[in-house]
Amino acid sequence: MKVNVVLGLQWGDEGKGKIVDVLTPAYSVIARFQGGPNAGHSLEFDNKKFVLHTIPSGIFRDKVTNIIGSGVVIDPVIFVEEVNGLKQLGIPVAQRLLIAKRAHLILPTHRIIDAASEAAKGNTKIGSTLKGIGPTYMDKTGRNGLRVGDILSPAFLDRYEALKQKHLAWLKQFDYTYTIDDYEQQWLACIDVLRTFTLIESELVVNKYLSESQKVLAEGAQGSLLDVDFGSYPYVTSSNTICAGACTGLGVAPSRIGEVYGIFKAYCTRVGGGPFPTELDNETGERIRQTGCEFGATTGRPRRTGWLDVVALKYATLISGVTQLIMTKADVLDGFESIQAAVAYKIRGQETQQLPFEINEPIEPVYKTFKGWNRPITNIRKEEELPFELMNYVRFIEKETGVSVRIISVGPDREQTIVRS
């Protein structure tokens, strides 16, 4: 059996939470493989909305095992808040969740370093979610980090204190005022809660499930253009958000990867700093933001909005070997007479269809205009009832990327999903 993977193909918030929830009934295991509480994955069903940050989006479904994989970074405080919220809804979280011992811990001082280094950046800020993601992955690759499995060691508190002291020394270079005591107390209490969960060698468990022919779906966080190696560096997150991240974040071999589902919005959004070639810093952009409720699920920040970027979409499809595309939020464009998509870039007068190394230099998008469908699609459930103009747009994307669009999402609810034949 192979692992299927769900990935965001843009700058995050493509609707991964909704789509994983929709796909979950066909799987017995849902595994998050990278990122941490910088993610905000929204799900809607029975007229209720839920946002998950660390816990996989399969948690609401019965008889499904959810795994927080070794490539994830965990803040115990945010994790416990999330667990408590789910428990209040009657979800037996502990019974449905396994946590990798190799996942790294976000320390209170990681969050402070994140905030201090962002503040020091002035107008070159990344626009981090300030959850401590970058500093935690730095300590992981710098071989200083603390892992979830370490909380079982009698030496844990000493090791925590030693790393904290390193961080406090590092923080002296910043002109930054902070307090640590309250959050630290809470953090240590939440470590005790974390200890009550089932901690596993996730690479062995996932491979065992595969050998037993159980169906495993890997859930990505963020999006391909935020990948630390292939995204719009340095305006990226600190993990591999592309398909390869599922291999390193779960311990599964590349030959074990099956379908790669790439999710994209019918337009683009980005939250935080960094280049965004098709950004609409105007009334049209504001209209998309309001209609699409484009405000961050983690930080509440307004998301930047723009037309679909087919150049970037092709790139994201290429580097992850996407086998099936999923288009979300087509309904947000319902009221438009016409819509646009960038099919090339003009850089210093030269037209190109490739994402340049220096994506931070001025890029002028070359647009293709499509006739809008200009009618509501949120109540449509059958492919054949979708407007011709929308299908025209979909077919264009399929032709450009060479990949079929298998699912079209027409609203945030579980039910508002059309699986094409």
Binding site for Mg ion (CB under 5 A): 13, 40, 297
Site for ligand IMO in 285-304 (CB under 6 A): 297
| Token representation of residue 117 | 């280094």
Q: Which residue has the tokens 């679909």?
A: 308
DSSP letters spanning 251-280? T--GGGEEEEEEEEESSEEE-SSS--TTB-
x-or-dash string of contact with ligand IMO, 2-41, rule CB under 6 A: ------x--xxx---------------------x--xxxx
Among 3, 5, 7, 8, binds ligand GDP (CB under 6 A): 8
Q: Which amino acid is at 242?
A: I
Closest distance of CB 119 from ligand GDP, Å: 25
Contact between 41 and ligand GDP per CB under 6 A: yes
Whether 272 contacts 222, CB under 8 Å = no
Catalytic residue among 13, 21, 227, 309: 13
Among 238, 264, 409, 418, binds ligand GDP (CB under 6 A): 409
Q: Of the listed pieces 73-81, 174-182, 217-225, 341-349, which binds ligand IMO according to CB under 6 A?
A: 217-225
Closest to ligand GDP by CB, 117 or 238: 238
What ranges in 56-107 are assigned the alpha helix state H?
76-88, 93-96
Closest distance of CB 148 from ligand IMO, Å: 19
Whether 25 contacts 240, CB under 8 Å = no
Q: How far is CA 92 from CA 64, 74, 252, in A?
A: 11, 20, 28
| 175 in active site | no
Cis peptide before 76 (omega within 30 of 0): no
Among 6, 14, 264, 276, binds ligand GDP (CB under 6 A): 14
Contact between 332 and ligand GDP per CB under 6 A: yes
Instruction: Give the count of beta carbons closer than 10 Å to the beta carbon of residue 421.
Output: 6
* Number of residues binding to ligand GDP, judged by CB under 6 A: 24
Q: Bridge-partner residues for 19, per DSSP?
A: none
Give Cα 371 to chain centroid, integer Å.
31
Closest distance of CB 214 from ligand GDP, Å: 24
DSSP letters spanning 130-163? SSSHHHHHHHHHTT---BGGGGGSTTHHHHHHHH
Among 127, 258, 275, 372, binds ligand IMO (CB under 6 A): 127
| 182 in active site | no
Closest distance of CB 51 from Mg ion, Å: 8
Q: How far is CA 299 from CA 118, 129, 267, 341, 412, in A?
A: 15, 7, 21, 28, 19
d(CA 240, CA 342) in angstroms, rounded, equals: 25
Closest to ligand IMO by CB, 10 or 202: 10
Closest distance of CB 335 from Mg ion, Å: 24
Q: Active-site residues: which are they? A: 13, 41
Residues in contact with ligand IMO by CB under 6 A are 8, 11-13, 35, 38-41, 126-129, 131, 133-134, 221-223, 226, 237, 271-272, 297
Residues in contact with ligand GDP by CB under 6 A are 8, 12-18, 39-42, 44, 292-293, 297, 328-329, 331-332, 409-412
